[in-house]
Amino acid sequence: MKKYLVVLYCFLIGNLYSQVVPIASIRMNDANGVPLLLNQTRTVTGVVTAKFGYMQSFLQDNTAGICAYDSNFTSSVQIGDSVIVTGVIVHFNGLTEFTPVTNFSIVGTGKTVNPVVINLQQFTNQQWNGLEQYESVLIRFNGVTINASGNFQGNTNYSVTDATGTYPNTLRISTYTNIVGTLIPQTPVDIIAIGSQYKTSPPYNSGYQFLPRSTSDFILPGPGINSIPIETNITQTSVTINWTTTTAGDSKIKYFVSDSLYQPVVYTDSVYNPAMVTNHSLTLNNLKPGTIYYAHISSTNSNGTSVYVPKYFATSSHSSSTGKMELYFNFSVDTSIAYPNNKATGNVDLKNRLIHRIDSAQYSIDIALYSFDNITLIRDKLINAFARGVKIRIVYDYRDGVVQPLMQDLINAGIPVQIRPQNSSGYLMHNKFFIFDSRDTSSYSDDWLWFGSANITNQQFYSDYQNVLLIQDETLCKIYTREFEEMWGSHNNVNNPALAKFGPQKLDNTPHILNINGRRYECYFSPSDNVSTVIENLILNETHKSINFCIFAFTRFQIANRMKTKYNPPNVMVRGVFDYENNYNNNLYLEMKGIGGTYPWNPPARVYLEPYSGLLHHKYIILDPELASSSPIVITGSYNFTNNATIGNDENIFVIYDSLMANKYFQEFSKRISESGGSIGVQNISSNVPEKFHLNQNYPNPFNSNTIIEFDLPQSTLATLKVYDISGRLVKQLFSEFLNAGSYKINFNAENISSGIYLYTLETTSTRITKKMIVIK
């Protein structure tokens, strides 16, 4: 009977599928690496070994492996499924695929495929002779060092090293895995992965890369450090370092004062705790104020030692460092939403503020600039400062080999300038910061950092919308000096082009968390510090009420998708203003607006195009600025939300955990979104369920141009707020939205309304309430 069933099964399968062939037989290539059976249909059987997203999966038998690029097949199978697959053989940048899969059947589940153990040399130099033996095969590399630090980024390639050598761009992290955002191992690891290939032109005999499928494909030694060590309780003389491990281990930190990037690694102090734990916390005491330290962090158990190195951290500044922050906008702001005594400073002449700081410099000025043009007075002030003995160093963009005239004047005056070398990818030295007197170790009260969105040109200062921060803090200036000197190539006044690093050459070698006057701040530099991932995680983990942004260029879908994940109107809003010139036909903008792109948002976000001729050159995000109690955050700096800014440009961001600063940025944002035809709209101020419908009296009342209207909703409902004149004519509809139960407020701007008595009415599906307001001009 059993024999009869087997014969019947084979007969049925034979009628459903063409003859099953070994995968190796369809993997044979010509001299250029193109499949001999290109565009022909074949049937194979194998076990599914990997899935990446909804389109790409891999399977293999005991002869070879193959990729299946088909949404129906990939979404229907799981790793470990035994399958019979019929597909068309195609070729994509060196990778042989089934596209489409025309027929398939799952004939078993829970199958195990053991990876083939090879080294990196074997993988990257496959002697294919018609068959690339490791492509689409589950493989394992032992003792691999990943030449990067920080967190993994999606759709990014990394350099790796084993005993056979170093191989750039060989480890690829797919955005469809849970690896993205996790800690890059800092000690050698074993890696299980799928072999793949990406080469855009023949012969297709290189470009090999391997793709781990999940975090479990990294086999860590020892306890396995699985989180970036984080600083807490930062003071002038102590810092606590915290990290976690997969399994229990002891805790040890070795460290020393890191005066520069160019000193030898010599540990002078250590702290140890023998307790076997997975949550590690060690406090380092008797530290020096305003100092950067280099640390070696480790945990050991019977399986070995896990290491995180280097870890840079910094203490708080000396007491004489004030932490004073000055925020400037060069166009008008909406002070009607300012907290008491917290009006933002708009319409500032940025040139005069920068000149004042240059004239005040006594010891040193370090400058990193993308563009320096037109403003001859700043050129003259820098030359005068240099003449009076101020040590000036400048890092400058290659700019297609053209040095702007004013920058050439500085070079002619003897000021040393390090220019980022030419690169074929179009990456830029895109920073815009000045560091004043940070190299003067005799004083801590004159260290100032100037940074933000503005290049030093007349158009940027007077025509384009910009924001600039000026901060007096010793530690912050030292961190930016460290970043500057990596591009400068030395710790002294003479640059060293041989050691200067830009773009992908740079390392994550600066502290990121600061304590300035008791508040937390963070700073990150691109591309070494995974800036996009930092922003994405802040959006995902710290947003509770709203995401608000003003941006010159926004093409980074990873950031937009994080916003989309949090978007839940009216509880969590997404509002944005895009520069018109760079974004009117941008798919990302069209998607957020709900009017185009591949996946239009529904409902659309409140995003608008800045309509004026000048550029909206801001690059900031404000999270939850509506209430101080919502712990608002500002992200600002030179970083546009683009792929180039993420993977190749020299950029910086500064993260501000301060409700007053967030409110000032929100005043700027409110003005920009209003000019662009939008508004901040109704704001949820409490999620507590009120007892009844209520419309408060507006305040102030009477008022000149702006007033606040608050109301309560005891149940979720469609709510509309309208303003009428005394004759009953509709003047303005402030909003009409479906709102959840809670308390709300909205700002009413009456700048274009004449003096008189007006009525405002709250309408819901079950009630209508009207009150009076008085406008006095």
User: Tens of pLDDT along 499-534?
Assistant: 999 998 898 899 999 999 999 999 999 998 889 989
Model pLDDT, residue 10 = 41
Mean of per-residue pLDDT scores for the chain? 92
Q: Based on the number of CB atoms within 10 Å of its own CB, is 688 exposed (0-12), middle (13-18) or buried (19 or more)?
A: exposed
Give tens-digit pLDDT for 238-267. 999 999 998 999 999 999 999 999 999 999
Cα–Cα distance between 115 and 536 in angstroms, integer?
Answer: 34
Span 564-621, pLDDT tens digits: 999 998 789 999 999 998 898 999 999 999 999 989 999 899 899 998 768 999 999 9
Of 633, 750, 662, nearest in space to 336 by CA: 750
Check pLDDT > 50 for residue 406: yes
Confidence of residue 472 (pLDDT cuts 50, 70, 90): very high
Model confidence at 31: pLDDT above 50: yes
Q: Please report the pLDDT score of residue 13 as a whole number.
A: 43
Is the separation of the CB atoms in 82 and 106 below 8 Å? yes
* 704 pLDDT higher than 50: yes
Q: Which of 3-12, 133-142, 618-627, 763-772 has the lowest mean pLDDT?
A: 3-12
Count H helices and E strands in the chain, helices first.
15, 40
**659 membership: H or E segment, kind and range:** helix 659-675
- Higher-scoring residue by pLDDT: 450, 611: 450
% of the chain exceeding 70 in pLDDT: 97
Calculate mean pLDDT across residues 667-693: 86
Asked if pLDDT for residue 462 goes beyond 60, the answer is: yes
**Does residue 454 carry a pLDDT above 90?**
yes
Mean pLDDT of 174-203: 92
Q: Which helix (H) or strand (E) holds 245?
A: strand 239-257
Q: How far apart are CA 181 and CA 558, in angstroms?
A: 12
Q: What is the pLDDT of residue 1?
A: 42
pLDDT digits (tens, 9 = 90+) for 37-48: 999 999 999 999
Tokens linked to 587: 């798919």
319: left (phi over 0), alpha (psi -120 to 50) or beta: alpha
Q: Check residue 8 and give its pLDDT.
A: 39
How high is the pLDDT of residue 18? 61
Residue 157 has pLDDT above 80, yes or no: yes
In the numeric block, the tokens 């050698």 are attached to 188
Could you tell me what percent of the chain has a pLDDT over 90?
Answer: 74
pLDDT at 6: 37
Structure confidence at residue 128 (pLDDT): 56
Dihedral angle over CA of 574, 577, 578, 581, nearest 10: 160
**pLDDT of 681:** 76
Q: Distance between CA 223 and CA 250 in Å, rounded?
A: 9
Whether residue 12 is predicted with pLDDT greater than 90 in this model: the reply is: no
Residue 52: how many other CB atoms lie within 10 Å: 19
Look at residue 150 and tell me whether its pLDDT is greater than 90: no
pLDDT category, 117, cuts 50, 70, 90? Answer: confident
Q: How crowded is the C-beta side of 79, counted as CA atoms within 13 Å?
A: 13
- Residue 283, pLDDT > 60, answer yes
The pLDDT value given to residue 552 = 97
Maximum alpha-carbon separation in the chain: 102
Query: What residues does 343 pair with on adjacent strands?
Result: none
Output the pLDDT for position 504: 85
Stretch 445-471: mean pLDDT: 97
pLDDT at 639 over 70: yes
What's the pLDDT score for residue 266? 95
pLDDT band for position 226 (50/70/90)? confident
Residues paired with residue 285 on neighbouring β-strands, in sequence order: none
Alpha-carbon span 312 to 479, nearest angstrom: 10
- Which residues contact residue 620 at a Cβ distance below 8 angstroms, ignoring those fewer than 6 apart? 453, 467, 549, 550, 551, 634, 635, 636, 665, 669
- The pLDDT of residue 5: 39
pLDDT at 16: 45
Q: Is the pLDDT of residue 3 over 60?
A: no
Instruction: Decide if pLDDT at 129 tops 70.
Output: no
68 forms beta bridges with 57, 98
- Tell me the one-letter amino acid at 255: Y
CB within 8 Å of 503: residues ≥ 6 apart: 420, 423, 427, 527, 648, 649, 650
Asked whether the predicted pLDDT for residue 14 surpasses 50, the reply is: no
